[in-house]
Amino acid sequence: MGVGNTLYGDDGVGVRAVEYIQGRGGLPGGTELVDAGTSVFDVLGALGGGERLVVIDATEGGGEPGAVYRVPWAELAGEGRPATFSAHETGLLEVLPLLELGGVRYGEVVLIGVEPGSLAFGAGLSEKVEAALPAVAAAVERELRRKG
């Protein structure tokens, strides 16, 4: 699931990554690519849960623009969580527990985050974040093919 607002530069990396991955093809059977945009709550609720959820989003972790992070849900939601977080006001940390109250559950949740260069108003990804799309696609594919 790609998350982000394409009107704010690199915040749209999740959406653009889904488009990039769709153009490549070759994902495991049973995989559903979803452009959630800024409607994370609505989209996750409509999907109704699943075995594994891989979320792609702009994520500030202190690295260089275009750095790609893999963050399991336990690290996102647990005590002493790292500095890595979504660039959105409402993110997975708020949405998933609310959905679970309504019976919508995801077995494993992993964030593939991309360090943004600019979140300023304006369409298009920065050069370094655009260049990171192949690495993002590879990280998503590894997650989907990983056992366990």
Question: What are the pLDDT digits (tens) for 5-48?
Answer: 999 999 999 999 999 999 888 788 888 898 988 887 777 777 77
Is residue 69 scored above 50 in pLDDT? Answer: yes
For the residues 54-63, what does the mean pLDDT come to? 92
Is residue 75 scored above 70 in pLDDT? Answer: yes
Is residue 84 scored above 80 in pLDDT? Answer: no
Looking at residue 82, what is its pLDDT? Answer: 44
Provide, rounded to the nearest whole percent, the portion of the chain with pLDDT above 70.
Answer: 88
Q: Which residue has the tokens 């298009």?
A: 124
For the residues 55-71, what does the mean pLDDT come to? 94
Give the global pTM: 0.85
Is residue 116 scored above 50 in pLDDT? Answer: yes
Main-chain dihedrals φ then ψ at residue 131, nearest 5 degrees: -65, -20
Is residue 77 scored above 90 in pLDDT? Answer: no
Looking at residue 140, what is its pLDDT? Answer: 95
